[in-house]
Chains A and B, each alone.
Chain A
Amino acid sequence: MKKIALSALLVSLLSACGTVKNGPTTTTFTGLDSANATAAPASAAASTPSSAVKQVEADALDDPKGALASRSVYYPFDVDVVQAADRPLVAAHAKYLSEHPARQVKLEGNADERGSNEYNLALGQRRADGVKKLLVVGGAKDGQLSTASYGEEKPKAAGHNEAAWQQNRRTDIKYQGK
């Protein structure tokens, strides 16, 4: 219990100072390495005047294993509410956007083909708008976000089957310029 509290304190200290790349006592506590790794993106992203640190700054968006690597939200049939499983993903993007106010995101809603093209266009729009609302709740600014729907017009997967349909019921979070 004490260990956890200590490591949490250390992580927050590391995050706060933002310049420490090699923690002084990293071997002291178990669990710190992984915690440190998690903290690293935030640390790197924090603005700092130090040019020495700037060289090692990495955009969390570019981390293929990071929380922002996944950019698609999936839905059951004819549903536009973000499912519980995808909420942490949306929250992670919201946090990133709140910390990077210059970033712009286009949310593109899509639907499977089981509906009229126009109904699916409206459904895709509701999906994109639903993700937008969650991003705003999570700290993103309205001005960073635009939405569009492609309905069933741009299917990722072809075929009249659930395997294809589930890939097509989707909102894509598209960072502009990325």
Chain B
Amino acid sequence: MLRLIGWMALLCLALPVQAALNIEIVGAGERQIPIVIPAFEGEDKLKQGLTSVVAADLVRTGLFKLVDPAGKSPHTPQEVNYAQWAGVEALVVGRTRQQANGRTEVEFYLVDGVKQIQLLGQLVSGHEEQLRGIAHRISDMVYEKLTGVPGVFSTRITYVNRDQGKFRLVVADCDGYGEQTVFASDEPIMSPAWSPDGSHLAYVSFEPGHAVVYVQSLVTGQRMVVAKFKGTNSAPAWSPDGQQLAVVLSRDGSSQIYLGRADGSGFRRLSFSDAIDTEPSFSPDGQSLLFTSDRGGSPQIYRMSVDGGVAERLTFDGGNNFSPRYSPDGKGFVFAHLSGGRFYIATQDFESKQMQFLTEGGWEKHPSFAPNGKLVLFATEGQGRGILSTVSSDGRVKQRMSAQTGDIREPVWGPFLK
């Protein structure tokens, strides 16, 4: 059991006053890339800054150290005087132009400060309300070029906001901005699950007086019931091809896992334990399911084939384990561990069977991986309220985002947008 703690730095980002969330980052990677991102030419005339968003994105990963441009402002690779940037390994420079049709054109470059060469040059354009999205695209390209791993800055997250008996299912950018309410109710909402293409959410709503599974389109807003049997219908999980839905039903007794089509037809029982079997998570290849079961006396993580059959117990460590989710590479899983009255976020890989704590413990629940596997999103508490938090998958960098109102519950990181 390896506990990864030892936060190396504390960094607070100043964000615009209209921010929906306050973001605080703790920790840093072992080696950070010194990067400078001077304001783009013409950026000050735009409704939304770009470089501040790019800088926040990159710093949040813990892999970058932001260097102050100290008044210098090159906008193209030709304007970069390398002698002035000793120790800076990467520069992001650019220009913006507002076009007659209301669109904004952004020209940006990534420059290697050591080799003194241009690594990227791109022209991106969009409407005024797409400026944050453009900035996230720039972050994705810069991150991938410098780390070799696809960036997740353009992806979205979903969560439930509970505020004084009102429940809202929310979709937001992964940095917490651009919050949109997908569904609101006076009854609880639980367990949102992204379809693999990011176009739909499955979730549990109690509006009929018991837990029922719905699927809602994020494009048209249309929603339909997919599982409404007597008792509890819950814990929806999409198969990687989006064709099937695993759900948990209590219609035949204790809560068990069933597999059916994504339209809610043809549910057949997969688990047969008489105990609680819940929280199914598909493997990336669609062949296996992880799930939580108390069949052994306490809630632990198990794995079984999607064809059913014998389940293999995966967690044995003292305490209870819940909410397993496969890592995107399928080599391990993240889960919530409860012991000594505290919840921790932990990972375990299938080969070593070693459990690794990513957090120091608290009220930390419902983890999910970013689609590049580098970050884990989970629910925690700050000042007595439920808030969002992320931790890098090596446990080094932690970020907390607190909403202005209500409790944030059950966050899930969405897929890459195709």
> A-side interface residues toward B, CB under 8 Å?
78, 106, 114-119, 121-123, 125-126, 129, 146-151, 153-154, 160
Contact = CB atoms under 8 A, between A and B. Distances in A.
Interface of B: 188, 190-191, 204, 206, 209-211, 230-232, 234-235, 248, 250, 253-255, 276, 278-279, 292, 294, 298-299, 320, 322-323, 336, 338, 341, 363, 365-366, 409-410
A149 B211 contact: yes
Given A148-B209, A148-B210, A121 B299 contact: no
Contacts, number: 96
Contacts of A117: 190-191, 365-366, 409-410
Contacts of A125: 231-232, 250, 254-255
B254 A126 contact: yes
Contacts of A160: 341, 363
B188 A154 contact: yes
Contact of A116 (B204, B211, B366): B366
Contact of A114 (B232, B254, B338, B366): B338
A37 B248 CA distance: 48
A149 B338 CA distance: 22
Contacts of B409: 117
Contacts of B299: 78, 115-116, 119
A106 B323 CA distance: 29
Given A118-B190, A125-B254, 17 more contacts: A78-B294, A78-B299, A116-B366, A118-B235, A118-B278, A118-B292, A118-B322, A121-B204, A121-B232, A121-B255, A122-B255, A146-B210, A146-B230, A148-B211, A149-B232, A153-B206, A160-B363
Contacts of B298: 78
Interface centre among B188, B232, B298, B323 (most CB of A within 10 A): B232
Contacts of B209: 106, 148
B338 A153 contact: no
A119 B337 CA distance: 13
A56 B366 CA distance: 56
A153 B188 contact: yes
Given A125-B231, A147-B231, A150-B206, A119 B211 contact: no
Contacts of A154: 188
Contacts of B365: 116-117
Contacts of A115: 299, 320, 322, 338
Contacts of B204: 121
A123 to B, nearest CB: 7
B206 to A, nearest CB: 7
Contact of B276 (A114, A119, A147, A153): A119
Nearest to B189: A153
A134 B190 CA distance: 29
B231 A116 contact: no
A114 B365 CA distance: 10
B271 to A, nearest CB: 12
B230 A129 contact: no
Contacts of A78: 294, 298-299
Given A115-B338, A129-B250, A121 B190 contact: yes
A81 to B, nearest CB: 13
Contacts of A123: 276
Nearest to A146: B230
A119 B250 CA distance: 12
A115 B321 CA distance: 8
Contacts of A148: 206, 209-211, 231-232
B230 A118 contact: no
B361 to A, nearest CB: 12
Contacts of A119: 276, 278-279, 292, 294, 299, 322
A80 B362 CA distance: 26
Contacts of B323: 116, 118
A116 B190 CA distance: 11
Nearest to B323: A116
Contacts of A106: 209
A116 B322 contact: yes
A80 B299 CA distance: 14
Nearest to A161: B341
A123 B322 CA distance: 13
B291 to A, nearest CB: 10
Given A121-B190, A147-B231, A116 B276 contact: no
A122 B250 contact: yes
B276 A122 contact: yes
Contacts of A118: 190-191, 234-235, 248, 278-279, 292, 322-323
Nearest to A128: B231
B410 to A, nearest CB: 6
A154 B186 CA distance: 11
Contacts of B253: 129
Nearest to B255: A122
Nearest to A153: B188
A45 to B, nearest CB: 28
A148 B209 CA distance: 7
Contacts of B338: 114-115
B161 to A, nearest CB: 13
Contacts of A116: 278-279, 292, 299, 322-323, 336, 365-366
